Structure 1
Amino acid sequence: MTVDEPTVRERLKTFGFSDKEADTYIALLGQGEAKASELAQHAGVSKRYVYNVLGSFEDRGLVEVNDHETPTTIRAVDPAVVIRRLSDQLSSLETQLESIHNPDPGEDRRYEVIKSKSTVKKRIASLVRQAENEVNVSVPASLLPDLAPELEAAVDRRVLTLVLANGHGDEAVSESTLKGLGSVVRYWADGGPMLVCVDRRHGLFSPPEFVMGRGSDHQAISFTEDRLSPALVGSFLGNYWPLAEEIHLHEPDELPATYDRFRHAIFAATRYLKRGYTLVAEIELRPADSNEAFETRFGTITDVTQGLVKPTTNSIPIENAFLIDDGTEQLSVGGPGAIVEPYEARRVTLDVVESSGQSVPELIARSDALNR
């Protein structure tokens, strides 16, 4: 077998060999056993260097030094023995490193391949039942009757439920069958994705054909993953949601109401502002992309940028923001991880102003009274 010495040299360097050490070791392997002077000649190094490096080679188990003979000879240990020792050391190191490694303290990340259509339907229903804050659903319209009880219950629990029903070229569904199934329900006659995301952590996705009974051999993936879910929701809201027809809007929550999910606050505020109400907000915020402590600010909502309900007012599909007047300045506030707005919000409390003639100090006093 032809040996590619440059490749061997590079691989030895990944294990801590210097260029000269690699050349010396390769030369010794080629000779099997040699005197220091012979090894120096074949490796292109000095005899002094050979003697200097022998101790390191011996410590690594690479060579045996016969210094009881004159002249001293060096013999290469069988590479199979060397590799076996190295593998044992690496296995031991792996165990020790794994015991130290804690990649995501407290984070639960799981993935499951689902091969059964009936299991997929049951899993989607289970995910929606467990939702506490937000549900994003994009499924074939034909699947929605099976999910109707869970979706309606989620809306009743004040879960922000965004439902995209996909026609996939089938006969158009009756709008009456879609009403009440979400905070916002949209219909797209073409084929959208098969996707469910719940509370920015849990979800499921698959090719739509998998649940449509068309003989597909595809599979579904169920997951718990705090980084994957937001990315899928961003794709859902950015690429598919804007294309669909708005079929149903649920009544917003009665105010005052507090929201731990920013999009839910955006939805409620948009619905009230479109009806001509004046809203005030108490927001826990901090400068975006910072580790500063959150502070509470209070003011009147003067504008909302959003893409949840039509007509949309955002320029970027996933952009949702409040413009707040606190009496001294206008604050542009986005949700967690805001990249467009200078501030990000953690929690929002909304209330309706009964008299638009109230000053900001009067509104603050009213808010304090409501919170006592």
Structure 2
Amino acid sequence: METESLVETLEAAGLSPYQAEAYVALLELGTASATDVAEASGVPAPRIYDVLRTLEEREYIETYEAGSLQARAHSPSVVLEDLRRRADRLEAAAEEVEQRWEQPELEAGGASIVTRFRTVIERAEAFIEEASHQILLSTTTANLRRLAPALRDATDRGVSVRVSVHTDDANERPDPTLFEDICMEARHRPLPAPFVALADRRQASFAHHPDFYDRYGVLVNDRTHTYVFYWYFLTTLWEPWKSVYDASEPGLPIEHLDVRHLVRDLRELGWQNAPIRLRVEGYETDTGEECTVEGTVVDVRVPFASEADTGFELAGQVTVDLDVDGEHVSVGGWGAIVEDVEGTRLTIVDAPIE
């Protein structure tokens, strides 16, 4: 580093211009009188004594009398420690600035646009760590491995996790062991896809596929906006693709991702001909309070005569009616308004299964 650059760096580290000039001059002179330091550094002679005294107070140099005031630089250990401490603080400040710019705190009902995928996946990891009900994830195998510890912890605490893995190569099939202990079900989409992470129907973390020309990410902490990402996940990243891993045990209980999936199973089980008992975890639509109800299915209301009319019950109101200890309770899916309960986890606990 040239002398001028060293002086500028010392100024950035907290020395005044005169202090930096005098200290650098002393490093080159070794030991010198105050007059010689002033001459070598360009510090005005009337100011040199105050400058040297301040440097001595900071333990950069020491002074002594030998006919005239003499000065010499201390062992650089104190200076080096000071500079390194300041460098650490600057590095920490740089990281904090980057984090605050890239990862704005999401308030309830908020959404943010970010420019780096690292921010998107870090926020997704935080969403997963905080989730208590449900996680839906669309990702590559590489990013799935990164998120695996958080997903495993979520599964261990009873969160329902479903993963859609996408690959660029249609012939590349993910190893089923990749999903062990981290999700309930996994599906494979043999096409590039965005990264999507949804937690508890409230938080969303989204980023385009890396090859997409317009690269940005979206972070959401809002049920309404997350609902849009949910439908994208369901219709494009989940429903059309085959399962490559299923951790559910044969028989009962049978847990469902959505009320529309539940209706499909209820048809197959012939709910009209035999009692089917359903446990619903979700929210009361009039209060927003969490609730759990369990009862017998007494009716299924869908907008079309059969699933063949739509391929899947994607449009219109889908409702399952329960008899809960003699009381009628209607159950809808995500965003339910007219039903009594918005179901987040729908589990068939008793049914005539051979």
Could you tell me the TM-score, scaled by structure 1's length? 0.47
Could you tell me the TM-score, scaled by structure 2's length? 0.49
